[in-house]
Structure 1
């Protein structure tokens, strides 16, 4: 999701429809976000596939011994 945040933005520079109900002369924080449904490059199927893959990876567990073995193998690669 794309997000733009402008802090200390003068209310007087806002479009009239956004100034409604705000006092003149104050500053505001303006946040603009794109909606996922309107992003041309958002692929719901790909997103779901990636999410499923991450969830499956998180469910994998490794014993302390296996983790230690893997770390030592990686460390030893640099000693050769």
Structure 2
């Protein structure tokens, strides 16, 4: 995993959305880390570990574990309805 750290970085050089709440003229420390991607093997190992040691999880933690789905709500509803309707 790559990690970049910049100390004493001028607030003026930050993108607008990151400058919010910071005073002009200040300096900040910026840390940028690449998000790790789970492959199928490590995902299965992580799921097995969670199942063997169950602990309450927040919805945010669950979504982070599962990762992006790349499916809109409408697509999901269409798939579910198609599965449900195939039994009619």
Q: TM-score range by the shorter chain?
A: 0.3 to 0.5
- Using the size of structure 1 for normalisation, the TM-score is 0.47
- Using the size of structure 2 for normalisation, the TM-score is 0.43
Larger Rg: 1
